[in-house]
Structure 1
Amino acid sequence: MISVASWNINSVRLRLPLVTRFLAEQAPDILCLQEIKCQESQFPHHAFADLGYNHIVIHGQKGYHGVATVSRIPIREVSRHDWQANGEARHVGVELLGPEAGALAGMVLENVYVPAGGDEPDRTINPKFGQKLDFLERMTRWAEAIDRPTLIVGDFNIAPLESDVWSHKQLLKVVSHTPIEVETLARFRDAHGWADLGRQFIPDPARYYSWWSYRSADWRANDRGRRLDHMWASPDLARQSTGHRVLEDARGWMQPSDHVPLITEFAS
């Protein structure tokens, strides 16, 4: 078995104790981090190496955004797409290498941080919302040309299903669950026939959240969550998946991220 995890950590240096705890307790083979908020030279390589994660690929920038993929399995960087079209560090793609990858050798793992999109779901008054939709459209055109097993994970910043949010009715006009975002994400899904691994193992309409706002005084009691984080696989790769889980307890750790990790296991 090979396990892949994804987590918007909201500053890897600030929350390094949480990341090392997660790696020590859950021991995924690969961890994709989003919103690392640092440049490559500032990334805490040593902390990951000490836990056996010696293969690290980073696309970072100073203070904002940034993605990193850390692995116990050999990997090599294969792409950095600027789907935002403004130079922000929001994507990195790697290929799994060698016998340690087993049946997943040659698989491409895409780590992405989709823009949040601002507060108003109207691109005429909120340019950030338009940038988000355009980002997804560029991803869609890219997905149409995929010709090898691919897993794309990360913070998509969209909760597409009614059961992905605490209140479908109240969030219909809130960025992350608006109909135009859901439709745009569906076009991306259909461009490659992606399988939504989370919903493959936690079928709709079961409750499934990965994010709770910092504004909620008691996130667990109020439970006003949204599923903003995703792991989607090429159809053939999806058939190799054997399990998927959400580590909700991480939202209650000391100085937590507002997101929690997702983990998917694959037969190797």
Structure 2
Amino acid sequence: MPFTLATWNINSVRLREPIVLKLLAEEAPDVLCLQECKSPIDKIPLQGFHALGYTHMIGRGQKGYNGVAILSRLPIEEVGAADYAALGHARHIAGRLENGVTIHNFYVPAGGDVPDREVNEKFGQKLDYLTEMRDAFHADAPEKSILVGDLNIAPREDDVWDHKKLLKIVSHTPIEVEHLAQAQDAGKWVDVTRADIPDGLLYSWWSYRARDWDAADKGRRLDHVWATPDISGAAHSSRVLRDARGWDKPSDHAPVFATFDL
């Protein structure tokens, strides 16, 4: 049975409930992974989601910050929630579908503004988080798994609007890209989005600071869909729903989709 999955940093699920409902009604993914929910789990507004058929949810939350959740039309069982780098943050949840596929939903730390761990504690936390992801994948090799989320790194030159200008900007620095690559390699994860869309500029985030984000188009691909090699070949139809960045009271991220024939 094929299923479609979407990942979206929503930047407050309660504030942006209307556009989550819009996405679910218009695009109807079977599974929606949300990051930066900024809500305790028991405060997430479920009634509207249930009315659209999304009767299953797992997640981790905290008041005002971070938070990850998986909404699903398909039964899903929680199978883990890691606290890499011991930050005490709600940044990971894992669930297993009835077909045996495990979905990992991550919100990797953004890393602050200065790419130097000696003067910016948040940057060090980001690198440590990615290192512990790497070590976890080495220790317990994932199988039949999908990893999605706001990984807060645009790894490729064509994942940013200007590679040279962003080399010293957090999210595209060489050390971050290398840490992400090590975590990806440790789990043998396949970048499903770029397997489907191998060439050309591709973004999922546009800053709120841009007066006209669409015209300026100074984006970055911070949101990712990966899969283990045993199921990555079943993935297709990857896309970024760019239009969602222009919806009423939008997140600064756009949803990323992929379909799996499993």
Q: Counterpart in 2 of 1:191? A: 186
Match 1:207 to one of 184, 201, 219: 201
User: SS at the partner of 1:128?
Assistant: helix
CA separation in 2, counterparts of 1:242 and 1:222? 29
User: SS at the partner of 1:260?
Assistant: coil
Q: Counterpart in 1 of 2:11? A: 10
CA separation in 1, counterparts of 2:235 and 2:170? 31
Residues 256 and 124 (structure 1 numbering): CA distance in 2 closer, same or farther, change over 3 Å? same
The amino acid of 2:73's aligned partner reads R
Counting only pairs closer than 5 Å after superposition, residues 86-235 of structure 1 correspond to structure 2 as 86-97=87-98, 105-144=99-138, 145-204=140-199, 206-235=200-229
Further displaced range: 12-21 or 79-88: 79-88
The amino acid of 1:154's aligned partner reads G
Assess if the C-alpha contact under 8 Å between 2:151 and 2:224 holds in 1.
Answer: yes
Gaps of 5+ in 1: 98-104
CA separation in 2, counterparts of 1:91 and 1:192? 16
State the 1:193 CA deviation.
Answer: 1.3
Further displaced range: 44-53 or 141-150: 141-150
State the 1:147 CA deviation.
Answer: 4.1
Deviations 1:25-74 (A, max 9, x none): 00000000000000011011111101100010020001100000010110
Assess if the C-alpha contact under 8 Å between 2:190 and 2:226 holds in 1.
Answer: yes
User: SS at the partner of 1:84?
Assistant: helix
Deviations 1:156-212 (A, max 9, x none): 0000000000000100000000000011111111112110011011113x1100000
Q: Counterpart in 2 of 1:252? A: 246
CA separation in 1, counterparts of 2:178 and 2:58? 32
What is the TM-score normalised by the length of structure 1?
A: 0.96
What is the TM-score normalised by the length of structure 2?
A: 0.98
Assess if the C-alpha contact under 8 Å between 2:142 and 2:228 holds in 1.
Answer: no
Deviations 1:67-107 (A, max 9, x none): 0001011001000100131211000000001xxxxxxx111
The amino acid of 1:214's aligned partner reads Y
State the 1:142 CA deviation.
Answer: 1.1
Structure 1 runs (4+) greater than 2 angstroms displaced: none
Gaps of 5+ in 2: none
Counting only pairs closer than 5 Å after superposition, residues 34-49 of structure 1 correspond to structure 2 as 34-49=35-50
The amino acid of 2:44's aligned partner reads F
Assess if the C-alpha contact under 8 Å between 2:142 and 2:187 holds in 1.
Answer: no
CA separation in 1, counterparts of 2:204 and 2:155? 13
State the 1:146 CA deviation.
Answer: 2.2
The amino acid of 1:160's aligned partner reads P
Q: Counterpart in 2 of 1:243? A: 237
